[in-house]
Structure 1
Amino acid sequence: MSRILLVEDHDRLARLMCKGLEAAGIAADVAGRIDSAWAAIQQMPYDALILDRGLPDGDGLVLLQKLRKAGLGMPCLVLTARDALHDRVQGLEAGADDYLPKPFAMDEMVARVRALLRRPVAFHSLDPSHGDLTLRPAAGVLCRGDESVTLAPAELHIMQLLLHKPKEVVRRSALEAAAWGLSEAVTPNALDVALHRLRRKLLAIGSRQRIVNVRGRGYALREDVAAE
């Protein structure tokens, strides 16, 4: 399931949009402000962004410009009540991939998001790899050479984040957000269970990579030089 970030401060509209997206097989996390949206993006690699312009802490285009300056190319659909030509041009010049004025039909919004999700994302490899590992998200498998193992959705999102940040320490909260989203409640040991399964699967395909616990900081992918 694709996961996107919806930046919309109107609670009722956000709920309706999430419901429509979920029916189409697209999970959505919601942020109501520029600052909270930026914080969410730091925690997980979203597949796309739906961005309202009129937010409590400023124009949503400020967030989009910040993302593009940081080299983040996730597809972005801009929503706004402004329908003037210069507003649409302004949004596209800021880095938007598509533009949808309010009010809009839910089916059209979903169709436009689906179209964005079909586009390749330049800033992330479609099949991220590190060391002897390659993740194939479309197939839901983790590979080492000719060996492969199937991953559950949460496991896939965790590995995707770790592979996007090889050797970096990733916070526990970031891994939880990647696996289950920012709004879904999870049990305290859900991440520990998922990591345990991933470690077993790494051993099963004979990988030299290990998911290590960096005390007090989080988790990282490290190569086990003693592994054969």
Structure 2
Amino acid sequence: MARILLVEDHDHIARLIIKGLANAGIMADVVERGDAAWSAVNQITYQGLVLDRGLPDGDGLALLQKLRRAGVTIPCLMLTGRDALHDRVEGLEAGADDYLTKPFAMAELVARVKALLRRPSVSHPPQPFFGDLMLSPESGMACRGDEKILLAPAEMQILLALVRKQGGIVRRSALESAAWGFSEAVTPNALDVALHRIRRKLAIIASELQLVNIRSQGYALQKNQLV
């Protein structure tokens, strides 16, 4: 299932969009502020971004410009109540891939999001790796040399968060957000189950890395000293 980030501070509109996208097979994480969106994009791999221009902590346009300057090429649909031509031009020049004014028909929003998700990536960043482990988010695979394992979506997001830290510690709450987003309710032991599966899969491909619980701090990938 495709996963996007929705940045929208109006709860009613956000709930309608979530429902409309879910009916089309698209999962949406929701945040209300630009700073939360920046954090989410840097933690989780999204296939698309639906961004409201008017946010409580600033102009969504400034957030988009910041993302583009940082090299984030995630396709973006900008939502706004401003329908003047210069506003649309301004949004597109800031890096938006599409621009939809409010009020809008849900069918049109869903169609535009689907069109965004069909677009090829502007750039092809190198596959994330650490130690002897390489991740391929597009195929859902983790590899050690010629050995490969298939990861569930939540497992991939957890490993991505850990690999990006390059051996550093990731808090439990950050791993839960990476795996299931900010709006999806999860059971208390869901992360423990996912971590157990990841440990087992790393063992299957005989990775030199092991998933370590750093007491009271979080989790990290570390090289197995016995390898």
Superposition TM-score, scaled by structure 1 size = 0.88
8 Å CA contact 1:9–1:31 kept in 2: the answer is yes
CA distance in 2 between partners of 1:87 and 1:93 (Å): 10
Q: Which runs of 5+ in 2 are unaligned?
A: none
CA distance in 1 between partners of 2:135 and 2:25 (Å): 21
1:85 matched to 2:76? no
1:135 matched to 2:161? no
1:171 maps to which residue?
171
2:202 maps to which residue?
202
Superposition TM-score, scaled by structure 2 size = 0.88
Change (3 A) 1:122 1:168: farther
CA distance in 2 between partners of 1:48 and 1:226 (Å): 41
CA distance in 2 between partners of 1:162 and 1:123 (Å): 21
Q: Which runs of 5+ in 1 are unaligned?
A: none
SS at match of 2:91: helix
After the TM superposition, which residues 77-116 of structure 1 pair with which residues of structure 2 at under 5 Å, given as runs? 77-116=77-116
CA distance in 2 between partners of 1:167 and 1:120 (Å): 28
CA RMSD of aligned residues (A): 2.1
Change (3 A) 1:111 1:124: farther
1:22 matched to 2:22? yes
8 Å CA contact 1:71–1:123 kept in 2: the answer is no
Q: Deviations along 1:65-86, whole A, 9 cap, x unmatched?
A: 2222333332211111212111
- Overall identity of the aligned pairs, in %: 65
**CA positional deviation for 1:42:** 4.1
Aligned residue pairs, count: 226
Change (3 A) 1:114 1:128: farther
1:120 matched to 2:121? yes
8 Å CA contact 1:78–1:100 kept in 2: the answer is yes
- AA paired with 1:182? F
SS at match of 2:149: strand
Change (3 A) 1:139 1:36: closer
- AA paired with 2:135? L
2:159 maps to which residue?
159
SS at match of 1:212: strand
CA distance in 1 between partners of 2:124 and 2:179 (Å): 20
CA distance in 1 between partners of 2:163 and 2:23 (Å): 29
